[in-house]
Structure 1
């Protein structure tokens, strides 16, 4: 290994990966992209389990008076902090760091370490933070006690309230914990920042996932014995399957073979290394698997992830719709989520329509009733619905409420 490679390795090193031990573990690359010139930048990394890798994104906004606001920090590797400091040198110091969720451990775990890199920044967190299995004080979770504040309900009471509005969804009771999310509206750029409540699915894998294409190629296989060529077709195939698995866990077009079959097939694998899970490939995709992806993607439309539809937001349809109506009152033109595609060109009406799955009689953006306004294949929800029923039956989560 050359000296240059050693330096690069340290640039990507994330020492606290055992706290949330998910791929890519200790090595996290970062891509910075300017979204709106001299105003908004996104910083992307990847995360996943069993090579099911999806982007995780933080957004940096330049304040009108100078300085930066950080929404949903990612892992503060040397590379990431160097890229942020390039913006600091040009636009001013990091003034505010926002933790916009209470349940997303993959977002919460980075806030404390990130804040320590910018010791003059104030940290604002969504109310009703909690931890499991023991509910600990924020300072015990690594957030700087003297610089951390809970976001007031009225955004005008914050030091950045002259530039941002926010609305908080939640907190929705989930038995073991709660779900909540704060979406931020940056008035000057007409941009909405969201965490997990909405996504838009790109057809091709994002650039951050292509820095190391191995996970994409792993999921492009049809069977354990396949040797996959690295090309854009296979990268796209792997990405689309990853998306289905990440958002449904097990769509109807995916079968999981018995362990005895997996063991038998692994013997035929041309690569039985640790990197290739010793040849194990526990996926069997139907020939028409792409129909489920096309239905899920919907030409890149805004959607609420199936997991949130089936296991979280259906616990509070009335509160969620009320919140969505409040957000729709803002005149945003762009949406930047923390996962999958960004930025998304979208209208408030398109935002609102994404939540129509919570309504008995959904209304289109034109104000007309549309009985098929959210046509995700119900057969792909089979596993999620089964999880929902089981969790409710054993008393871990409350029952879903009727649509409004």
Structure 2
């Protein structure tokens, strides 16, 4: 397989061209012939113009790449090594939504030929690749695993917005349905990953390793969020506590915050779902999720308390929220907890304005039924800086005061600003 790919006698197909699939497809296209497939024709049109809809990859990265972008499933017939990088969200009840994964498996199954490889990168619960995806491949193709095609799992480790730890500089975990599959998959990925390859002993181990990476982060952040709630009641600055505790060599300086996005805020629900299927109800993971999901309401309540403390009716106030994306310096608004914060504020009849230099106004309107302002207005009763965009880090207290009425309130959820007592601003941070 590797020799045929190198000689461009066979092609790689990457299914799903979002934050994970596009950089992967372009990296492969530096070495091999690649088919970049996505079901969204508008996305394909933009990619054909060397324009990344996610605004993460510059046009120069497309130059010289041996890649064909398509939304036509028939084009997948030309591929022999398939990589699945579609989203794996949860529904409104926090249950894994495997429909994108199942649709991708159906498309690949129809194009699968003897000797082909299928590798999944989408984050799932342990067992999903073999128990949920493999049967679809077999049903659609009529082929037998092992004898006629190979299966693998290699969890994505893309960190959106990170310009230092890019795809090729992050060690890659791979696995396969048998020893030969694992070795071939490792060899193919080894052609593009400079950081090295780690071969897991089984597909289930690789799946579990991926999901617990984000479960661990979720739990650590939930601990800091719970501590922030306690310290707020004690009248202690959480950041000052963390700074003091960080002087000990083995203290892990996690910080509190809103936990959204398509990884940390989603992946734990996949493990929770699988554990409950097995008759076990996880206590720690579930508690962490409950705390993190409750932070938007906590922040909204805190602001209302600050308004009431100065005899201000929340229903007669105007508040500016700065930042809506799930993390800094990216356009991704999926599972934005800032959107949840805005909804919580609206429950108190607060007039909320939202700005974000990265988010798409059309996408925000379609996803959350909210409007983005091009720029802030004035005469706000409070400003909430919710995302640590670089453009916000250079702002000073004078700027925020210029946006607000007398007795201004600034909620700094990312702890970006140093405020002095003589700044005459009511300042609070997580």
Normalized against structure 2, the TM-score is what? 0.30
Normalized against structure 1, the TM-score is what? 0.32
Higher helix share: 2
Structure showing greater Rg? 2
Which structure has more RCO (C-alpha within 8 Å, separation ≥ 6)?
1
